[in-house]
Amino acid sequence: MSAIPSGGAEVAAEVAAATPIRPPQKQRSRFTADTVTGWLFSAPAIILIACFIILPFILAFYFSFTNERLLSPPGRETQWIGFDNYARVFNNPRFWTALTNNITFSIVVVPLQTFFALFLAILVNQKLRGVVVFRTIFFIPITVVMAASAVIWVVLLNPQGLINAFFEIITFGNFSPDWLGDPAYAMAGIIMVSIWASVGFQMVILLAALQDVPESLYEAARLDGANNWQQFRNVTLPGIRNPLLFVLTITTILAFRLFDQVWIMPDRPGGPLDATRTLMVDIVDTGLNQQAVGRGSALSVIFLFIVLAVTIVQRRLVKQEGEIK
Amino acid sequence: MTHSRTSRQVALMATVALAGTAFAAAPAAAQDDANVCDGVIDGPVTLEMTMHTGSNPGAEMETVDAFNAGPGAELGVTIDVIPIGEQAYETAITSAAAAGEMPDLVDMDGPSLYPFAFNGLLSPITSCVDQEKLDYFLGSIIEQGTYNDELYSLGSFESGMGIWAHKSMLEDIGARIPTSIDDAWTGDEFEQVMRDLQAAGYGANGPLDIKWHYGAGEWRAYGFAPIIQSAGGDLIDRSTMKGSDGVLNGPEAVGALNQFQTWVDDGLIDLIAEDDNNFTVGPDGEANTGDETPLSWVGHWMHSLYSENLGDDLVLIPLPDFGNGSKGAMGSWNWAVSSGPDGVPNSGDEADLDAAWAFIDYATSPESVLRFVNGYGAVPPTADLADFPGFQEGGDRELYIDYLSNAHSDPNLEQNGSMARPATAAYLFIRDRFSEAFADIVAGADVQSTLDNIVMQIDQEIEDVGY
Amino acid sequence: MSAATKGAPAGQGATLQEANASIRRQHIRHYAVAYGVLILLALFFIFPIAFMIAGSFKADTSVIADSGSLKAFIPEPFVGLENYQQAAERGNFWTSFRNSAIISAGIVFGGLLINSLFGYALARVPFRGKGLLLLIVVALIIVPFETLAVPLLLIMAELGWTDTLHAQIIPFLAQPLYIFLFYSFFLGIPRELEEAAKIDGAGAATTFFRIAAPLAKPAYAAAGILMFLASWGQYLWPVMVTRSVDARPLPMGIAEFQGLPPRDWGDIMAYAAMMVIPLLIVFIIFQRQFVRGVATSGLKG
């Protein structure tokens, strides 16, 4: 997954927080020059949103109930077929494989990458000379766009490549799998690339959050006799709670949008035995390659609901934990 | 012009003649105000043509340039090329059609033609070809370009597939070296050869290279469907063209693929190579160090690289016979005319068929064919092999001509020869599913259930779309 | 001279010198460990890039052949710029680069303007209906692009926009996420300046361009950098909507180039290098802004 939120789903979780939805109305709005200005300023955005976000959104729902194809032979009419597409999707074992893969990926990557990012942020937050150099280095993979990272890592993950060379050294030659070709290890390979390419982004956010925690709190804790671990638990974690939640949420949603690596890296999109087939691969394969726009739209709608569900569940879980503490 | 009277030549002539008769009454098939060749080109015209940029766009571009400078200039026809990557080529054309932006001319790979014709994206060129032109081609070319009794395309070259080998290594293990398609190794014999090579230490990552790094796509269907066909199975039931049950997942296909799977499990297949080095110089990148892969299952396009590296040690061996004959492959890129940017036939926006035909005629003329054969080592599309010594009797690629002159499309014929890829509009769907299934089988999936699964999908898709 | 330093072994009868020496040793150990860990991690993050650069100067056959040992990092056999030339020719690198540049410029400049205008209007201009608009914007933030991709493709097809550059720019100019970012930001700037301007007779447009926008530099920087990074790396949409070389941006360019036989890995590494290095250099020069931009978005969001 790429670290950069290119949509906005991730931020929705934070909407309920700080900023007010309704701006304080100080003036009675009436038809004034202000109204004209307001609409004028808004017009370009509104038109674009209506055409390129709202319209496809509605179409996605609409097409999901039809058997629309990208290209039809002359004489073939698109028909309304009700929930057939959805039934087909849920009956297709490949869909469940894709969903499972996304879930597996998330369960591993979200905690792993987030806490790796936190670990890096803490390391880089130390008062060491030249630590900025390291911060830069850790962020560099973000500037290597995911597609390029994927191509480079194809060679690195080759059974005779560097990654295996490393593993062979530390396991005395016992462990050097065919990362991208072996269904058992394909997901691990993808996870490796994803973390390498994305963790810098989360690190930077958490670093800023760490720097916002007042030093005085740490001093107070030390005076109370707290050791490093206790300081971390009682000062750091609570202090960066909101940004940390934000990072967890983004990472989760991005995990479901996993596409670039799994499309480019395995020798066929979706990987060996569909071991790395994700929902996005399914959507693109169905809508584009198989030209089944109707079924592809059904998948897109289902995807939306899954993302919503995951976000809500995660917020609940985290809120509970916060309350228990 | 020498006319060798071997039975092979006669067979070639026969297939050509048979094909030619299919269009004796061509004009009768055309509709009223259909886009037809009337022998007149209306004014100077520029035609857009999409072209796949594969391994080597050289010969195609040269042909276009030569046309634009030569016959095109005389007739007032200019071809403007739009290059498109080979990987997503068909999807590109499809999207263009959906967007109302079909180019005037397209080149496409063999059976991709059928879905496009089915969707009305192409204009027939039946009215443009005369008997003399038809006679020039092998029957396989004509057959490849025909859909629903109309001729839609012509190819400038044919294709061929076999097993390239290091002769010295085979001799070292004492293997019999087949000399024609009629004494091909059986599946079991082939397995034994590979095991012997492996035991002798040849091929660090497996004695058989199958160009696995070509990835998903046409290669896995083109290259490996012959295995199931050679066993008696097929990609689709050609008697009904409505499904694949029983042929793609029948005992013949399953048996052959199960055998192939054991070869993978026993390390006989090189799945690791990321480029062509394994056969030519070996994984260490250095020639003649003895770690070259002995066998390479691939098509004609590797000939020039391989012969450059192996010289006299290169030998071409027919594909193994799994019970129903040694089946080769056939068909390749061919030129077709679209039904206009809107992709709707006879809607009035089609390009002048005569102008388009002028190009296709030139691109499939002996002069152009020479360019393709010499440039790619492609297989000549014609029975007239005077200019192509490599393919004549005794030439190093005689095998391909053998296959083509015995081309057939009835899978039940226990015969050695090329099998045409099925002329169904569902071809792209079938080949994508087969390609995936083959990859899954190589990765260790259960053969029967994998094939059952794709048969179900194929049958359903055919029903859905109404192919 | 403060004897009560933290690590001092208290009350064990050590002499002051021994205590100081021990502290120094501990510090050195601490530094050694800290730097050691940092360096190891740095190696982890850098090695693929070093590999890419070295590979781009190697003969094609050696890239894979050497890929399992330290030789992978040594550009031997050295082929000069041959791989780069091939990548540029066979891979049509510069066309794709031009495409990416146009697309990113379009999205960043167009997007910054359009999204900030709307965000400002929602935050500061009292006009009828803005409450509803704001609600819609916020609701749309959650919709992932992927849900819209397939129908959007169909819309592109209907408009005849497939395989074009504008198909990769126009649908992405207005983004609820950034609108909201600007909205939040503009809400936070002090009203006094604007009121002053209004008293001076400035219209809304002047107020925006002369007063509000300059104050929002951090938001512009953050949004601009994120938009740039996202658009530069866009892969999914180009896969769906572009085919020909003329419209294809870099991420798709390298994916296609990598899939094209014959795969000359030296050329592919060169392509990757040409893709990566310019951005890398820009990043290293402007890293503070980059990092601040990313952090701002995270904290604000």
pLDDT score for A41: 87
pLDDT score for B10: 47
Distance (Å) of CA C248 to CA A273, C93, C108, C253 = 30, 10, 18, 6
The predicted-structure confidence for B213-248, as pLDDT tens digits, reads as follows 887 778 898 999 999 999 989 999 888 888 889 899
Tell me the three state secondary structure of residue A150.
Answer: helix
pLDDT score for C301: 47
The predicted-structure confidence for B107-137, as pLDDT tens digits, reads as follows 888 888 888 888 888 999 998 888 888 889 8
At residue C2 the predicted structure's pLDDT band, cuts being 50, 70 and 90, is very low
C163: which chain A residues are within 8 Å (Cβ-Cβ)? none
Q: Does B212 contact A267 at a Cβ distance shorter than 8 Å?
A: yes
Neighbours of chain A (3+ CB pairs under 8 A): B, C
At residue B2 the predicted structure's pLDDT band, cuts being 50, 70 and 90, is very low
* Token couple for C26: 């501990």
At residue B316 the predicted structure's pLDDT band, cuts being 50, 70 and 90, is very high
Q: Flag the least confident range among A102-116, B61-75, C206-220.
A: C206-220
The predicted-structure confidence for B336-355, as pLDDT tens digits, reads as follows 998 888 777 777 777 788 88
**DSSP conformational letter for B321:** B
Q: Are B138 and B158 in contact (CB under 8 A)?
A: yes
- CA-based nearest distance B286→chain A, Å: 17
Same domain, C34 and C98: no
pLDDT at residue B18 greater than cutoff 60: no
- CA-based nearest distance B207→chain A, Å: 17
Nearest Cα residue in chain B from C242: B92
Instruction: Give the length of chain C.
Output: 301
The reply to whether B89 touches chain A by the CB within 8 Å rule is: no
pLDDT score for A298: 92
Nearest Cα residue in chain A from B98: A71
Same domain, C195 and C219: yes
Q: Where does a domain end: C83, C112, C128?
A: C83
Nearest Cα residue in chain A from B88: A289
pLDDT score for B239: 87
For residue B109, the one-letter residue type is: D
The C residues from 54 to 93 touching A (CB cutoff 8 Å) are: 55, 63-64, 67-69, 72
A23: which chain C residues are within 8 Å (Cβ-Cβ)? 122-123, 130, 134, 187
The CATH number of residue C108's host domain is 1.10.3720.10
* Token couple for C170: 């126009």
Q: Flag the least confident range among B211-215, C96-100, C103-107, C126-130.
A: C126-130
A76: which chain B residues are within 8 Å (Cβ-Cβ)? 465-466
A169: which chain C residues are within 8 Å (Cβ-Cβ)? none
Q: Does B283 contact C65 at a Cβ distance shorter than 8 Å?
A: yes
Task: Determine what percent of chain C is predicted with pLDDT higher than 70.
Answer: 93
For residue C278, is it within any domain? Answer: no
pLDDT score for B28: 37
Which residue's entry shows tokens 């949008």? A257
Q: Where does a domain end: C240, C260, C280?
A: C260
For residue C279, is it within any domain? Answer: no
C290: which chain A residues are within 8 Å (Cβ-Cβ)? 139
Same domain, C75 and C95: no
Q: Does A273 contact B444 at a Cβ distance shorter than 8 Å?
A: yes
Same domain, C16 and C135: no
Q: Does B98 contact C157 at a Cβ distance shorter than 8 Å?
A: yes
Same domain, C77 and C175: no
Same domain, C175 and C253: yes
Q: Are B434 and B235 in contact (CB under 8 A)?
A: yes
The predicted-structure confidence for C252-289, as pLDDT tens digits, reads as follows 888 888 877 677 888 899 999 998 888 888 888 888 88
For residue C45, is it within any domain? Answer: yes
* Token couple for B50: 């999409």
The reply to whether B283 touches chain C by the CB within 8 Å rule is: yes
pLDDT score for B66: 92
Q: Which residues of chain A have pLDDT under 70?
A: 1-31, 319-325
* Token couple for C180: 């909201």
Same domain, C100 and C155: yes
For residue C270, is it within any domain? Answer: no
If one counts the domains in chain C, the total is: 2
Query: What is the distance of C-alpha C120 from the center of its chain?
Result: 25
pLDDT score for B59: 84
- CA-based nearest distance B39→chain A, Å: 28
- CA-based nearest distance A325→chain C, Å: 23
pLDDT score for B176: 92
pLDDT score for C175: 92
For residue C281, is it within any domain? Answer: no
For residue C292, is it within any domain? Answer: no
The A residues from 53 to 72 touching B (CB cutoff 8 Å) are: 67, 69-72
The predicted-structure confidence for C133-169, as pLDDT tens digits, reads as follows 888 888 888 788 888 888 898 888 888 888 889 999 9
Q: Flag the least confident range among B376-390, C3-17, C209-223.
A: C3-17
For B285, the closest of C62, C256, C262 (CB atoms) is C62
The predicted-structure confidence for B152-169, as pLDDT tens digits, reads as follows 999 999 999 999 999 999
* Token couple for C36: 């050691």
DSSP B423-457: --TTHHHHHHHHHHHHHHHHTT--HHHHHHHHHHH
pLDDT score for A194: 93
Tell me the three state secondary structure of residue B327.
Answer: strand
For A273, the closest of B272, B435, B445 (CB atoms) is B445
pLDDT score for A237: 85
The predicted-structure confidence for A19-61, as pLDDT tens digits, reads as follows 445 555 444 444 577 777 788 888 999 999 999 999 999 999 9
At residue B55 the predicted structure's pLDDT band, cuts being 50, 70 and 90, is low
**pLDDT, averaged across chain B:** 84
Task: Determine what percent of chain B is predicted with pLDDT higher than 90.
Answer: 29
pLDDT score for B34: 58
For A76, the closest of B91, B212, B466 (CB atoms) is B466
Interface residue of B50, B80, B84, B292 to substitute, partner C, most C CBs within 10 Å: B84
Residue C180 belongs to what domain range? 91-260
Same domain, C24 and C126: no
For residue C117, is it within any domain? Answer: yes
The reply to whether B91 touches chain C by the CB within 8 Å rule is: yes
Which residue's entry shows tokens 């394909």? A186
pLDDT at residue B31 greater than cutoff 50: no
Q: Does B55 contact C260 at a Cβ distance shorter than 8 Å?
A: yes
What domains are there in chain A, each with its CATH number?
Answer: 94-324 (1.10.3720.10)
For residue C269, is it within any domain? Answer: no
Same domain, C146 and C51: no
Same domain, C159 and C233: yes
Instruction: Give the length of chain B.
Output: 467
Same domain, C238 and C159: yes
Say how far apart CA A40 and CA A43 lie, in whole Å: 5
**B362-380 average pLDDT score:** 88
Q: Where does a domain end: C35, C50, C83?
A: C83
Same domain, C44 and C174: no
pLDDT at residue B92 greater than cutoff 80: no
The reply to whether A28 touches chain B by the CB within 8 Å rule is: no
**B42-61 average pLDDT score:** 79
